[in-house]
Amino acid sequence: MEQEDKELLLKDLCARLPYGVKCKYYDYYNDDYYDGNICGFERQEYIQIDGVCIHIEEVKPYLFPLSSMTGEQLFEVQEILGKNEIKLEDGFLRIVDSDRDTISYLELHALLNWFYKNHFDIYGLIPKGLAIDATGLNIY
């Protein structure tokens, strides 16, 4: 794993920590893969999962691609942004039928926290192989 990918994964996981992110990790001691809950960080290279210290290169969080967002979830995003109608198209939130085309910092902050809380992949970790697509897994 390149240093840039490690930093991206660490940044993403730090933001998700308050929301109980689940992950798959490799345990060298038992030579097997396990699912666990991230509970903290040890230095910059290690993550604590269920009390076990694991190197960040061995961790893949379960996340949802934006394309898996349901209509109900999109409605929640509309409420956060105070918009009449929003569509998700090609990785963009498109504002439809609105006289307002700006988003405040508070709305942006609330939206980012909503994405973290609902475990959406906003950094593109799934296509890079740094996260596992949780669509249909019933993990959360």
Q: What is the pLDDT of residue 4?
A: 85
133 pLDDT higher than 90: yes
- For the chain, domain boundaries: 3-63, 68-118
17-60 pLDDT tens trace: 888 888 888 877 778 888 888 877 766 677 778 777 888 888 89
Whole-number Å distance between alpha carbons of 11 and 137 = 24
Task: Return the higher-pLDDT residue of 116 and 4.
Answer: 116
**Residue 25, Cβ density class (10 Å: 0-12 exposed, 13-18 middle, ≥19 buried):** buried
68 vs 33: CA distance, rounded Å: 26
In DSSP terms, 55 is beta-bridged to 46
Give me the helices (H) in the chain, please. Answer: 3-16, 71-81, 105-117
Residue 6: the pLDDT is 82
Instruction: Give 77-117 pLDDT, tens digit per residue.
Output: 888 887 667 777 776 777 776 666 677 888 888 999 999 99
Is the CATH number of domain 3-63 2.20.25? Answer: no
Q: What is the pLDDT of residue 117?
A: 92
